[in-house]
Amino acid sequence: MTTTPDTGALATLTSGCPVHLPGDPGYDAATTPWNLSVEQRPAAVAVPRTVDQVRDVVRAAAAAGLKVAPQSTGHGAAALGEHSLEDVVLVRMHELTGVSVDPAAGTVRVLGGTLWQDVVAAAAAHGRSVLHGSAGDVAVVGYALSGGLSFFARRHGVAANSVRAVEVVTPHGELRRASAEEHRDLFWALRGGGAGNFGVVVAVELGLLPYADVFAGMLLWDRERAPEVVRAWVEWTRTAPDSATTSLRVMSFPPLPELPPFLSGRDLVVVDGAILEDDERAAEVLSPLRALAPEMDTFGRIPAPALLGVHMDPPEPSPAVGDHSVLGELDDAAVEAFLAQVGPGTRSGLMSAELRHLGGQLARPVAGGGVLSSVSGEYALLCIAMAPTPQAAVAGRAAAFAVNRAMSAWSRVSLVPTFAETRVDASRFYDAHDWAALCRVRDEVDPDRVLLANHPL
């Protein structure tokens, strides 16, 4: 059934908080997510700048009989975009930002729309780092509260484990602080259950890591070397220490003049990541891959903030589609199946087919952790295609699905929330017991289902 927005109630939102309705001059810009392949047409979009404005928006939306969907950058907007938003107020959080570091306590407080690059810079001023992702322009809240796979992950686990407290506006417009001491059930659920299922998160407190610099970088080969490189990397990951977190990607770049020559128009194999060891030990760990004579090797000691540039994520908003699965141990047949899809001579249509090495601390549940304190499986597979047109989006989804289907014999039921590019059954993120408990918390916090998350419970 279609809900007709109560425009009278929506008009009350404009008192102090910018709100754009369909047809308003600022509506299109305000509803455009980072992933430009997604079109969002909500009943209204609000851009709060203060916590009080967030509370007012949530209350007014509920009074109007509308749902609330929090969003910061919209990197993960594809899943939300599969929902009809005609009865939804999209709450864009990118104006509510700020970072405060407490080096003595070993924590950093981050406001709800803040980007990782700002947190990393603030932590670096004190010789510290955080469990950030591979892209600096991703917002902290959505990433951390959905688990989060960092290049520190095999040593330190999912980013949700670094969350010390969460300040969240509930569906009733109440501000709660959830931590190990208060609202403990909500705190457990938020750490891995995703912010949008329980409220609009206006701040998080994270633990700091003791890294001012890190041994990190990438190795690059032409795709013709893929058969030996993929096999060698898979073999290497079987015994790699927890200090090493890497990914392998088979990548294809169009011949664009704005790309550097080593990328433009080329098909490549790239291994990148970080090794949390001193230089001598890190070089020893990396030596089996360096023995493959990459044409480019940037691994070395770098300032911790430079890790944000290692993965070469797009620096500007881009249109993309993708598909994801979690894989178990990869045998020779699995490597052959992967190469048959993206190896030499193939034309998959993908920009990137990535295998992210899991295991280590990622596989170990944390005492006192949240609903998602560990990740099962040995590898996360993520396939991405650029989608500048609707036709390209259809073809890209098909290409990404084809690679994941080809690897289905080695796939697990589970998924990684931050890698799920499409709308999926959210129960696949959790085991059955935790899923039931998570839904109970959701029922207590949002019995009227005011909230709409990327992956609703």
Q: What is the pLDDT of residues 204-252, one digit of tens each?
A: 999 999 999 999 999 999 999 999 999 999 999 999 999 999 999 999 9
* Greatest Cα pair distance in the chain: 68
- Whether the CB-CB separation of 269 and 223 falls below 8 Å is answered with yes
Residue 149 has pLDDT above 50, yes or no: yes
Whether the CB-CB separation of 171 and 58 falls below 8 Å is answered with yes
Residue 46: strand pairing partners? 19, 91
Which DSSP symbol is given to 453? -
Whether the pLDDT of residue 440 is over 90: the answer is: yes
Angstrom distance (rounded) from CA 408 to CA 143: 26
* Token pair in block for residue 99: 């970072």
Say what the pLDDT of residue 13 is: 61
68 phi, psi to nearest 5 deg:
-125, 130
Beta strand 99-102 with 67-71: parallel, antiparallel or unpaired?
A: unpaired
Alpha carbon distance 182, 170 (integer Å): 15
Please give the residue that has the higher pLDDT: either 457 or 293: 293
Secondary structure percentages of the chain, helix, strand, coil, to 5: 35, 25, 40
Q: In the prediction, which pLDDT does 83 show?
A: 86
Angle (CA) 435-380-249 rounded to 5° is 160
pLDDT over threshold 60, residue 5: no
| C-alpha–C-alpha distance, residues 49 and 197, integer Å | 21
| DSSP structure class, residue 13 | G
Q: State which fold the 99-210+432-445 domain adopts.
A: 3.30.465
Q: Residues 259-271: what's their mean pLDDT? A: 94
> What single-letter amino acid sits at 421?
E
Q: Are β-strands 379-386 and 44-46 bridged in parallel, bridged antiparallel, or unpaired?
A: unpaired
The whole-angstrom separation of Cα 13 and Cα 169 is 16
142, 420 Cβ separation under 8 angstroms: no
Of 323 and 7, the one with more pLDDT: 323
Crossing angle between the packed helical segments 332-342 and 226-237, to the nearest 10 degrees = 140
The arithmetic mean of pLDDT across residues 156-167, rounded, is 98
What distance in Å separates the CA atoms of residue 217 and residue 144, rounded to the nearest whole number? 23
Spell 210-236 as b/e; 16+ CB within 10 A means b.
ebebbbbbbbbbebebbeebbebbbeb
Reading the block at residue 170, the tokens are: 């509930």
pLDDT value at 98 more than 90: yes
User: Position of tokens 């609330």?
Assistant: 68
Q: Is 120 exposed, middle or buried (0-12, 13-18, 19+ CB in 10 A)?
A: buried
CA pair distance 206, 107, nearest whole angstrom: 5
- State residue 258's pLDDT score: 87
3-state secondary structure of 241: coil
Q: What is the predicted pLDDT for the residue at 3?
A: 45
- Please compute Rg for the chain using Cα positions: 22
The answer to whether the beta carbons of residues 43 and 173 sit under 8 Å apart is no
Instruction: Confirm or reject CATH 3.30.43.10 for domain 7-92, answering yes or no.
Output: yes
Q: How far apart are CA 280 and CA 84, in angstroms?
A: 54
Write out pLDDT tens, residues 368-422.
999 999 999 999 999 999 999 999 999 999 999 999 999 999 999 999 999 998 8
41: exposed, middle or buried (C-beta count within 10 Å: 0-12, 13-18, 19+)?
middle
The pTM of the full predicted model, rounded to 2 decimals, is 0.95
- CATH 3.40.462.20 positions along the chain are 213-419
pLDDT exceeds cutoff 70 at 170: yes
Q: How many residues are listed for the chain in this entry?
A: 457
The average confidence (pLDDT) of the chain is: 95
In the chain, the percentage of residues whose pLDDT exceeds 90 is: 91
Domain with CATH 3.30.43.10 in the chain: 7-92
Q: Is 400 left (phi over 0), alpha (psi -120 to 50) or beta?
A: alpha
Amino acid letter, 402? A
- Give SS3 for 83: coil
The structural architecture, per CATH, of the domain 213-419 is 3-Layer(aba) Sandwich (3.40)
For residue 387, how far is the Cα from the chain centroid?
A: 19
Dump strand ranges (E) for 265-419: 267-275, 296-297, 300-303, 320-327, 352-357, 379-386
Per-residue pLDDT of 58-88, as tens digits, reads 999 999 999 999 999 999 899 898 888 999 9
Please tell me what DSSP assigns to residue 315: S
**pLDDT grade for 115, boundaries at 50, 70 and 90:** very high
Identity at 98, one-letter amino acid code: G
What 3-state class would DSSP assign to 254?
coil
User: From CA 265, how far away is CA 258, in angstroms rounded?
Assistant: 11
C-alpha to C-alpha distance for 361 and 374, rounded to whole angstroms: 8
Residue 11 confidence class, pLDDT cut points 50, 70, 90: low
Instruction: Determine the Cα–Cα distance for residues 207 and 186; give it in Å rounded to an integer.
Output: 19
